[in-house]
Amino acid sequence: MNLSFFLNHKIQNRYQQNLRIANIDISVTSPYPTGRIIFGKAYQNFFYPSKHPEASIHTYYGAIPQFTLLDKYLISGIEDMWGIYSVGGKKVFVLRPIKYKKGKLSIFVKGNIKDNKDAFCFKLRRDYDMKPVKTRICQPFRVAVSKPDFTESSVFIDSKLPFSSLANPLGYPLLELLLPNLLSSKRGVLLHACGVVDRNKGYLFLGHSGYGKTTMAKLWRDSGGVILHDDLIPVRKVNGTYLAFPIPGYGATFSKKLLQGVPVSKIFFLYHSPRNVVSHKTGILAATLLLLRSLQPTPDVKLIKNIQNFCAQITKTIPCYSLGFVPDRRVLDFIREIN
């Protein structure tokens, strides 16, 4: 079977739940009362009334018919786990149960960042290790079809009757796949970062897995700081100010005021060190370090250029540092004293 069921199926939903994530109003519609959707505690702070949502998620619960997709439509993904395809002018996300001990996602993006008269050429690559799951099922359990600008998506969730409870249509990794694409068209980026609010200042601590983001989150939380998230932080430019936002997942309790964003005061690129040490980074180097720690949207020339330009501009405005640190509370005062 081809994708006609997903591309042409008209979802008729009666119920709607609105959320605000990264200052983007998103509506989730369902044929069943949205109170039956298991969003979980991580989403409770993000429910937000909106009359004019900027993005819509339409949900379908039921059997997903079998289908095949040709590799020539594949944009990126992890073999036998998930893939993003471009079909009929739309983006198709296909999610399967994890089958292998290790899977690799490799996205190569070529481009350049200009800084005065110089230009830096780069190539991005992402590799992820996957935990095994005992399953022989490779049939997709979730399919999402999105418009090219990602403002409207239909999510098909494999479910069996009776529907006493409904799966969250934005459950991992769909939100993480959709959000970078929405942000890149709205002057923003999704970063691999821990976001902290301390004494009315917003700090971003960037790094890939194992570089200390979760450690930083624990240190600041234990000292009274507010954690936006310990791994993923959206950043947008709103009315000339760069703002960091919380997203669902960390489970911290915070005021709904933070949904409007926190001004970013400083950006730190983390690494472990036998002592606390900091080094100011500027220009192309700072922009490249930021770019390499961003989640790339679906490979699209226009969206990728938006991310490049955003990284170049924010690093000209917000002070950036590499931070080698010892994982104890002394690093907090060390950071506060940086001018």
* In the chain, where the domains are located: 4-97+137-184, 188-336
The residue with greater pLDDT, 69 or 199, is: 199
Mean pLDDT of 240-257: 83
Other Cβ atoms less than 10 A from the Cβ of 95: the count is 22
Q: Is the pLDDT of residue 247 over 70?
A: yes
Q: pLDDT band for position 302 (50/70/90)? A: confident
Identify the pLDDT of residue 79.
Answer: 64
Dihedrals phi, psi of 33, to nearest 5 degrees: -50, 130
The residue with greater pLDDT, 37 or 138, is: 37
What residue type is assigned to position 172 of the chain?
Answer: Y
Identify the pLDDT of residue 280.
Answer: 97
The residue with greater pLDDT, 77 or 56, is: 56
Q: pLDDT band for position 185 (50/70/90)? A: confident
DSSP structure string for 267-311: EEEEEE-SS-EEEEE-HHHHHHHHHTTEE--SS-HHHHHHHHHHH
135-159: pLDDT as tens digits: 444 578 899 999 988 999 999 998 8
Q: Is the pLDDT of residue 100 over 50?
A: no
The residue with greater pLDDT, 186 or 93, is: 93
Average pLDDT, the chain: 85
CA distance 329 to 218: 10
Q: Is the pLDDT of residue 163 over 50?
A: yes
In Å, what is the CA distance from 261 to each residue of 20, 48, 50, 199, 316? 11, 14, 17, 15, 20
In Å, what is the CA distance from 32 to each residue of 62, 162, 263, 270, 278? 12, 12, 38, 45, 53
Identify the pLDDT of residue 98.
Answer: 57
Q: pLDDT band for position 161 (50/70/90)? A: low
Q: Which fold has domain 188-336?
A: Rossmann fold (3.40.50)
- Supply the pTM of this predicted model: 0.85
Q: Is the pLDDT of residue 102 over 80?
A: no
Indicate the range of 26-35, 70-79, 159-168, 317-326 predicted with least confidence.
70-79
